[in-house]
């Protein structure tokens, strides 16, 4: 049931949709086709209107609906595995340009957050913002020690607006999944939840500051990349103070050439630095658009890449990295069956997926890519094609991989903008091969073993107690197995009995055998000493316990 505020907002949204002719898209849905004649009876359709392309109308409507919907459209534009290409391309044009709030209000927010007056906190503070977006705006400032900084301030009313619009989005997404089969395939409730998580994270500037600090630490000794320093004493969840970055915007190609920057070297360094974040650190900047990248020219054509805006970062687990490594390797070998099998074994698609059908779908989509040279093949495009195909087989939403794919496309696009002849595969091959070896090869196995040995040793002393507990629970019938198949559920009781008897028999036999081996070490006369003592007491205990366990297993046969 909608609240009064949600109802008012919904009516406002409907007016915007009608203004942009999007009521036509609603009536095109399957459930309305039988009553589509009603569309012509609506007053606003009595006269002809010049219609723009559907994707453009959606973009214009989102822009009119306000900053939260603009942000939603931007995130949707990254979901090329869900949206048609025309819509994804149009939504990518959305600009987060929001009128700034006053400098006086910004100062009030800063003073309240930092518990001090502006002139006590800063030597200078520019009330005119450098930039303004839907979540926050940025001002220039100078610290008492003369350092040039930027001050990012969260909008005072944004949280209330976000909660209002998100609650309505959740209601509409849930209704859409219930009534519209076409929309249900896109899982709108998951998309809205993903959007909510991203927005709420951007509201907390402490999180963004921590992201920047981590990335700076990862590249503290790098001559190729620079990350600004956070002023932690002046940073809260609502205000962040950070070193001000100066440089040439990466999109200013003429300015870069005039500064003597080696464009080919810069393009290669950009690709390598991003993949280093993914491969080496498993922590990468996921918003690498031109507005967030600045170039600091050096000598002999060298240049340092400086990045800003750390609100959207992502990381990959060991599992994600292994998934990507093995799939890229199989793809490059055109082993589509291996790609399909990996998806099933890893749980990315349901276990009942037919591997042969999945393999055929992957081959159909990916094989044409090999008709072109490797020079023209994109990592991001490969991932996109795999995700689009897997979605047809009910692959769940994996936000971290979607962000990786989107950012790869952006970085590759920037690289080729800087140098149209850039060979992305040649640039990344050494790093990529090292990644493969580390995650999939023998060195990966050795590293994994070295990492896990301390954990195994730590848990080893408690293993006898766990075994005893397991035996006790089995004896008392407290071990339960959860089945997801109705047919297997009907056999659960009988299978539990057989499993219990088999396990008891194995344990009992092992104990008896262990007792016999120990007794044999003493010799028949019991005079051969071993480190556990001079008497075969332990062997008799093991044999007795084993016999008891075997008796329990035999006792259960009649049940």
**CA 17, CA 25: separation in Å to the nearest integer?**
10
Q: What's the CA angle centered on 271, arms 149 and 202, to 5 degrees? A: 45
Given a contact cutoff of 8 angstroms between Cβ atoms, the answer to whether 308 and 228 are in contact is: yes
**CA 85, CA 415: separation in Å to the nearest integer?**
22
For 459, other C-beta atoms within 10 Å of its C-beta total: 10
Report the candidate in 269, 278, 361, 345 with the shortest Cα–Cα distance to residue 306: 269
* Phi, psi values for residue 283, rounded to 5°: -150, 115
Report the candidate in 404, 416, 230, 380 with the shortest Cα–Cα distance to residue 313: 404
**CA 449, CA 264: separation in Å to the nearest integer?**
40
Q: How many helices (H) and strands (E) does the chain have?
A: 25, 11
Cα four-point dihedral sign 435, 436, 440, 443: negative
Cβ partners under 8 Å of residue 280, min gap 6? 218
> In the block, which residue shows the tokens 């496309």?
409
Residue 435 structure tokens: 């990644």
Angle, helix 188-203 to helix 205-218, in steps of 10 degrees: 80
**CA 192, CA 310: separation in Å to the nearest integer?**
22
**CA 355, CA 339: separation in Å to the nearest integer?**
9
Cα 3 off chain centre by: 33
Residue 30 structure tokens: 């399957």
Exposed e or buried b per residue across 93-110, where buried means at least 16 C-beta atoms within 10 angstroms of its C-beta = ebeeebebbebebbbebb
Catalytic residue IDs: 287
Q: What's the CA angle centered on 513, arms 511 and 517, to 5 degrees? A: 115
| Residues forming beta bridges with residue 303, ordered by sequence position | 297
* Phi, psi values for residue 99, rounded to 5°: -55, 135
Cα 368 to Cα 325, 362, 484, distances in angstroms: 22, 11, 39
């Amino acid at each position: 049931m909608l609240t009064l505020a949600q109802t008012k907002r919904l009516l406002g949204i409907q007016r915007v949709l009608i203004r942009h002719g999007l009521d036509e898209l609603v009536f095109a849905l399957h459930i309305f086709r039988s009553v589509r004649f009603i569309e012509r009876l609506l007053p606003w359709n009595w006269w002809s209107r010049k219609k723009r392309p559907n994707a453009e109308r959606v973009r214009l409507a989102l822009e009119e609906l306000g900053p939260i919907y603009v942000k939603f459209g931007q995130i949707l534009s990254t979901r090329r595995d869900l949206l048609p290409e025309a819509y994804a391309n149009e939504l990518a044009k959305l600009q987060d340009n929001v009128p700034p709030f006053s400098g006086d209000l910004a100062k009030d927010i800063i003073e309240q957050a930092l518990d001090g007056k502006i002139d006590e906190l800063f030597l200078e503070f520019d009330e005119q913002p450098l930039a303004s977006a839907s979540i926050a705006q940025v001002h220039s400032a100078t610290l008492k020690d003369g350092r040039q900084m930027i001050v990012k301030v969260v909008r005072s009313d944004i949280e209330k607006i976000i909660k209002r619009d998100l609650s309505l989005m959740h209601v509409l997404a849930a209704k859409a999944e219930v009534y519209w089969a076409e929309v249900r395939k896109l899982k709108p409730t998951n998309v809205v939840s993903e959007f909510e998580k991203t927005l709420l994270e951007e509201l907390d500037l402490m999180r963004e500051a921590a992201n920047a600090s981590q990335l700076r630490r990862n590249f503290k000794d790098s001559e190729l990349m620079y990350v600004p320093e956070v002023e932690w004493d002046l940073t809260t969840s609502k205000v962040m103070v950070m070193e001000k970055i100066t440089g040439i915007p990466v999109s200013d190609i003429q300015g870069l050439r005039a500064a003597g920057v080696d464009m080919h070297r810069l393009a290669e360094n950009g690709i390598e630095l991003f993949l280093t974040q993914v491969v080496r650190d498993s922590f990468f900047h996921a918003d690498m658009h031109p507005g967030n990248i600045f170039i600091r020219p050096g000598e002999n054509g060298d240049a340092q890449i400086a990045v800003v805006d750390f609100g959207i970062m992502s990381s990959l687990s060991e599992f994600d990295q292994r998934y990507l490594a093995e799939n890229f390797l199989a793809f490059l070998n055109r082993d589509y069956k291996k790609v399909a099998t990996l998806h099933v074994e890893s749980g990315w698609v349901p276990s009942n997926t037919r591997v042969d059908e999945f393999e055929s779908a992957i081959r159909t989509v990916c094989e044409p890519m090999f008709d072109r040279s490797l020079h023209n093949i994109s990592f991001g495009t490969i991932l996109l094609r795999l995700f689009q195909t897997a979605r047809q087989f009910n692959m769940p939403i994996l936000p971290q991989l979607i962000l990786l794919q989107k950012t790869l496309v952006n970085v590759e696009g920037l690289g080729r903008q800087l140098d149209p002849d850039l060979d992305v595969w040649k640039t990344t091959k050494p790093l990529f091969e090292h990644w493969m070896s580390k995650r999939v090869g023998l060195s990966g196995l050795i590293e994994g073993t070295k990492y896990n040995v301390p954990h195994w040793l730590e848990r080893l002393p408690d293993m006898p107690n766990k075994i005893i507990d397991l035996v006790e629970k089995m004896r008392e019938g407290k071990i339960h197995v959860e089945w997801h198949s109705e047919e297997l559920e009907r056999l659960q009781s009988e299978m539990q009995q057989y499993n219990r008897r088999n396990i008891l028999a194995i344990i009992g036999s092992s104990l008896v055998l262990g007792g016999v081996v120990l007794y044999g070490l003493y010799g028949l006369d019991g005079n051969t000493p071993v480190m556990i003592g001079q008497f075969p007491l332990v062997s008799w205990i093991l044999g007795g316990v084993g016999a008891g366990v075997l008796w329990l297993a035999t006792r259960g046969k009649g049940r």
